[in-house]
Amino acid sequence: MTLHDLVTLGWTPALAQAFAPHEAAGLEPGRVSLEHNHVYRVLTANGERLAEAAGKIKYEASGRHELPAVGDWVGMRLNPHGSRSVIRTILPRRSVFSRKAAGRETTEQVVAANVDTVFIVFGLDKPVNPNAIERYLVVARRSGAEPVIVLNKADLADDIGASVAEATASASDVPVCAVSTLTPEGVTRLTSFLSAGRTVALLGPSGVGKSTIVNRLVERELLPTGEVRAWDARGRHTSVHRQLVVRQAGGLIIDTPGLRELQLWDAGDAFADTFADIAALAGGCRFRDCRHDREPGCAVKEAVEGGTLDAGRYESYLKLQREHAAFERNRDERAGIEAKRQGKLGSKAYKALQKQRGR
């Protein structure tokens, strides 16, 4: 695929300024569209290239979150002989969607970088899950991208208006779009978020139809799709890798595999944004550091008891807060263990050096 220019890929004057020193060093800019087994597909002004990260990038990375990710802008040293190019630098990310990597390890996984809008997709073949919406919103807001709730499979909903109203109650001021991919006009509303150079990422559980939405937006069968199992209404991961797609009508789309485990990573101020109603009530609490759990004089609990704050939303808030607090404790504990390990290694190296000098 030959691209007309970098602007099609989202190149901006700010990126050009940041890249200037690397351009002077002879590097070529490009955007990562796919990663598989540490081999990257990178889109450039002159087409697609295969590349791998330089040894220095791998060595200096404190974790895989500092390696190239889909959506990243990178600087490459081209190989004139047609084999893989080498990624020498990664430009600063304007936004980054991260989660705690699946499993027991406390490590950050970058799902997508430099995203403008996040489509958080759920299927209306099952009841709306407010808790899941709130969880995705916390992570999406933390990314720096603008979230949009997409309720797919509207043709299977018994009451679309009720489903939208329930999602809106959890989404606050975030747009909520109910769509069906069975009709040409089903995803027309979503195209308003796509324009030249803007990037949209699709996130959500497996089986909600993300790949089908991508196919409708790019107007061709680009990605494989799968059926949802009838016995448990769960889908397969038809997308097995994150990838960035250029839309001929303008804009870029990042499709992701279904996330069956979405654990928070460094939520920051995203809680206050997602639960703005609770944050507003918190100003009336007796204690400034009130956790809205067991403390007396809690305005949030009083609102729940008085019926002005939904009890389910309150419980969802507490659950996410406890989960994130546990994650922070675990991360601090692991950081302490790693610091001790590094200290022991340094001590052994020092003793070995002293022993050599004493000979």
> DSSP for 320-341?
HHHHHHHHHHHHHHHHHHHHHH
Q: Which distant-in-sequence residues (6+ apart) come within 8 Å of 19 by Cβ?
A: 27, 29, 73, 75, 91
Q: Can you give the pLDDT at residue 85?
A: 92
Q: Can you give the pLDDT at residue 122?
A: 93
**Integer Cα distance of 285 and 72 in angstroms:** 43
DSSP state of 263: B
**Domains defined along the chain, listed by start:** 6-90 (2.40.50.140), 96-255 (3.40.50.300), 275-359 (1.10.40.50)
Residue type, 306: G
Residue type, 70: V
Tens place of pLDDT per residue across the chain (359 aa): 444 489 999 999 999 999 999 999 999 999 999 998 889 999 999 888 999 999 999 999 888 888 999 999 999 998 777 678 999 999 999 998 877 655 555 567 788 899 999 999 999 999 988 888 888 888 888 888 999 999 999 999 889 999 999 999 888 789 999 999 888 777 888 998 999 999 999 988 888 888 889 988 988 776 555 444 443 444 444 445 788 999 988 999 998 764 444 555 555 666 667 787 888 888 888 888 888 888 888 888 888 888 888 888 888 888 887 776 765 666 555 545 545 655 555 566 656 666 666 65
DSSP state of 293: S
Whole-angstrom Cα Rg for the chain? 23
Q: Which helix (H) or strand (E) holds 284?
A: none
β-partners of residue 100 are 108, 263
Asked if 268 contacts 324 with a C-beta cutoff of 8 angstroms, the reply is no
